[in-house]
Amino acid sequence: MTSIEGLAITSIATDRTREPRLGYRAGAVFPPFGGDLAAASANAIGVTRHNLGSHTMAAPEDFSELVDAPDRGRVFTQTIKPGLADCAPSGRVRLDALARWLQDVAYADVEQAGLAQAAMWVVRRTRLSVERFPRFGEHFRVLTFCSGIGRMWAERRSSIIRVSPDGTVSADVQAVSLWVHLDPLGRHPTPLTGPEVATYAEAAAGRRVRARLRHPGPDAAASRRAWRFRATDCDLAGHVNNAAYWQPLEEELLSGADPHRIDAEIEFRAPAQPGDKVVLCDGKHRWIVDESGDTHASLIVVGA
């Protein structure tokens, strides 16, 4: 796969509203939709839209919405078991590992649907709402579906569901990501293809989503600390993978007692190469910037 560093994403519009210029993310690069709604999906593990868990944390109003699983349409599920490298010393699965789970299940989903060559997708925004952190030795199913579409982007909802030995299920983590749809050859934003729409539009149920950035820019009063992305953080696109952007927040969590829950949203603004960066912190806000001050990503964190 060739690098997409030269990609220039200009103004992108919904049917009615002109969106601002899109910075792109070259993290996980694959079409993030696919799969079937059948006995092999949600119903096979006793999960319905009514028992995916409740959200008791008060997230900011402008966080991405966590919509219910659809009554109709395609839902894909895959079994996951935490690996040794996914976990903190306490056995808690880290945020960057959860992000990797989501992108890996997304690729398995689209591969099963036969759409792996239809487009390249790049992450625009991800929200992780952790009601209970998964732990080593437990067993999980990741349930995922398309929860909204736009002209040249789409949204994916996912739930990480713990399956107990007695068969009971609990939704420990809820997630939602916005992905921008790119032509696989020209690497520029392009409308979704007919087969893609036919595959997942039913689950979206007509819900429209926008790609506009919502997080504020860095605060001049924010505290600063050094960070460094490694060459091993890069993926097939030759840029730092989206999961690695959760590591600065994980460093904070690992400095204290294990968190019981967290709700955090990250927006990706510009791709990063390995090297020295700066993490700016101001209350619930975090920004990962380069040494010149350009922002690679922003985070809003609540409930930790």
Structural domains counted in the chain: 2
Domain that holds residue 94: 15-204
Is 61 part of a structural domain of the chain?
yes
What is the per-residue pLDDT across 86-95, written as a single tens digit (0 to 9) for each?
Answer: 999 999 999 9
Is 4 part of a structural domain of the chain?
no
Residues 185 and 267 in one domain: no
Is 3 part of a structural domain of the chain?
no
- Inform me whether the pLDDT recorded for 36 exceeds 50: no
**What pLDDT score does 100 carry?**
96
- Inform me whether the pLDDT recorded for 187 exceeds 50: yes
Is 64 part of a structural domain of the chain?
yes
- Give the C-alpha separation, 226 to 279, whole Å: 6
Is 6 part of a structural domain of the chain?
no
Half-sphere exposure of 242 (CA within 13 A, CB side): 31
Residues 135 and 67 in one domain: yes
Is 267 part of a structural domain of the chain?
yes
Question: What DSSP designation does 34 have?
Answer: -
Q: Rg (Cα) of the chain, in Å, rounded?
A: 18
Kindly give the interhelix angle for 247-254 and 95-113, rounded to the nearest 10 degrees: 140
Of 204, 234, 259, the residue at which a domain comes to its end is 204
What is the per-residue pLDDT across 57-114, written as a single tens digit (0 to 9) for each?
Answer: 556 667 889 999 999 999 999 999 999 999 999 999 999 999 999 999 988 888 999 9
What is the per-residue pLDDT across 135-165, written as a single tens digit (0 to 9) for each?
Answer: 999 999 999 999 999 989 999 999 999 999 9
- Inform me whether the pLDDT recorded for 26 exceeds 80: no
Is 9 part of a structural domain of the chain?
no
What CATH number did the domain enclosing 189 receive?
A: 3.10.129.10
Residues 245 and 173 in one domain: no
Residues 164 and 297 in one domain: no
